[in-house]
Chain A
Amino acid sequence: MSHRLTDVMWLFSLIVLLLLFPINGFAKEAVPVAEDPEIEKRMLALTMDLRCLVCQNEPISDSRAEFSNDIRREIRAQIKENKTDEEIIQFLVDRYGDFILYNPPIKPTTLFLWFGPAALFLIAIGALVFYLKRRRTQIEEVVLSQEQVEQAEALLSEEKKDKNV
C-alpha cells in the first residue's frame, strides 16, 4: 500500500515540476525595451507617423514586423546620437522615399493627392449649381387666364363641399 502511495507522490511531483517548467522559455526572447523612457517616448511619437513598408497599413510603432524592429532600433540609436526629429525623418526618407511618411510633403508630385479630393468636390458643387440654375430658367412660369383661375377655384370649392358632407 505504502509502495503505491509513493508512486502517486512521485507522479504528482513530476506533474507539478512539469507545470513549473517555463513553457515561455522556448519562445523567442522579447526585444529589449530601451532603458531610457525619454528615448522610447520620442521614438514612439516618430514611428506613429511612419509606414511599415512590409505591412503597409500599419504604422511602424504598432508593427511587429522585422522591418519595423530594425527601424525602431535605428531611430533609438540616432536619438542617442542627439539627432533631431527632422534629421531622423530625412534619413529615412532618403532611403525609403516619401512613401514611408503617412503625411507626405506638399510638392508637385503630391499636389493631386493633397488637393485632388477638394478639387473634385468643388467641381461637383459647381456642376450642381450650374445645373440647378439652368433648370430654373427652363421651367417657364405658367400664367393662368382669368377663365382658368375660376375653373380651378370652382374645382377646389367643390372638393371642400365634398369633405363637409
Chain B
Amino acid sequence: MMRYLLPLFAFMVLAAFLLVGLSLNPRQVPSPLIDKPAPTFQLSQLHEPEKVMSSSENLGKVWMLNVWASWCVACRDEHPLLVQLAKSGIVPIYGLNYKDERSTAMQWLKRFGDPYTISIVDPDGKVGIDYGVYGVPETYVIDKQGIIRHKQIGPVTVDALEKTIIPLIKELQQKT
C-alpha cells in the first residue's frame, strides 16, 4: 500500500505548489515599505504651483496617498470609487500626480471629478521612486505616525475597499 501512497503524496505536494504558484499574481510585488515610515516629500501643489506641501503636515491623521496620472488608463477605472470615498469623508485622499503635465492633469480632474484634499506633482518621478512606485495607479494607507500600513498596487476595487482598506483605516483611526 505504502508504495502507491508515497508517490501519490509526493505528487500532491508538487501539485499544491503549482496551484499556489498559479494563483499568485507576479505583478503584485510585495512592498518592503509596509510598516516602514512613509518617505518624506516636499512637493509643489497641482492647483497652486507656488504652494509646497510637506508630507509631515499629515502626521497625526490617517490618510491615503493615491498615485495617478492623466495618461494612466487604469486610473480612470478607480477614479469614481475615489470620488465616492472622498465624499463619504471617511479618509482624506491626497493625490500624487506622477510624471504628468500640469495642464492635462488639471483638465482630467475637472472632467472626472477631484477627490483629492490636496494634489501634489511629481513631474520626474523622484518621489515615485522613493515610494517604490512601478505601476500607476498605486495607493498607500499611511497612519497617524506616518507609517505605511497598506499598499494597493493597481486600481482600487470595491472589493479591496470594503474588505481591506476601509476596515484598516477605521482601525488605524481608533489608535492614538
B129→A53 contact, CB < 8 A: no
- Interface size (A, Cβ < 8 Å)? 15
Give chain B residues whose Cβ lies under 8 Å from the Cβ of A98. 32
Give chain A residues whose Cβ lies under 8 Å from the Cβ of B21. none
Q: Complex: how many Å from CA A93 to CA B36? A: 13
Give chain A residues whose Cβ lies under 8 Å from the Cβ of B134. 53-54, 67, 96
Binding site secondary structure of chain A = helix
Distance in Å: Cβ of B39 to nearest Cβ of chain A: 8
Interface size class of B (residues with CB under 8 A): 10 to 19
Q: Complex: how many Å from CA A164 to CA B99? A: 93
Q: Complex: how many Å from CA A71 to CA B134? A: 10
Cβ-neighbour of A95 out of B27, B32, B135 (below 8 A): B32
Cβ-neighbour of B30 out of A93, A94, A97 (below 8 A): A97
The answer, yes or no, to whether B89 is at the interface (CB within 8 Å) is no
Interchain pairs with CB closer than 8 A, number: 39
Give chain B residues whose Cβ lies under 8 Å from the Cβ of A71. 129
A97→B131 contact, CB < 8 A: no
Known: A67-B134, A71-B129. A53 touches B32 (CB 8 A): no
Cβ-neighbour of A54 out of B129, B131, B135 (below 8 A): B135
Q: Complex: how many Å from CA A92 to CA B144? A: 26
Within B12-36, the residues touching A (CB, 8 Å) are: 26-27, 29-33
B129→A97 contact, CB < 8 A: no
The answer, yes or no, to whether B154 is at the interface (CB within 8 Å) is no
Q: Complex: how many Å from CA A66 to CA B32? A: 22
Cβ-neighbour of A97 out of B27, B31, B125 (below 8 A): B31
- Closest residue on chain B to residue A98 by CB atoms: B32
Give chain A residues whose Cβ lies under 8 Å from the Cβ of B30. 97, 99
Known: A53-B29, A56-B26, A66-B99. A96 touches B132 (CB 8 A): yes
**Can you list 14 contacts pairing A with B, beta carbon distance less than 8 Å?**
A53-B134, A53-B135, A54-B134, A95-B131, A96-B29, A96-B31, A96-B132, A96-B134, A97-B31, A97-B32, A97-B132, A98-B32, A99-B29, A99-B30
B interface vs A, CB < 8 Å? 26-27, 29-33, 99, 124-126, 128-132, 134-135
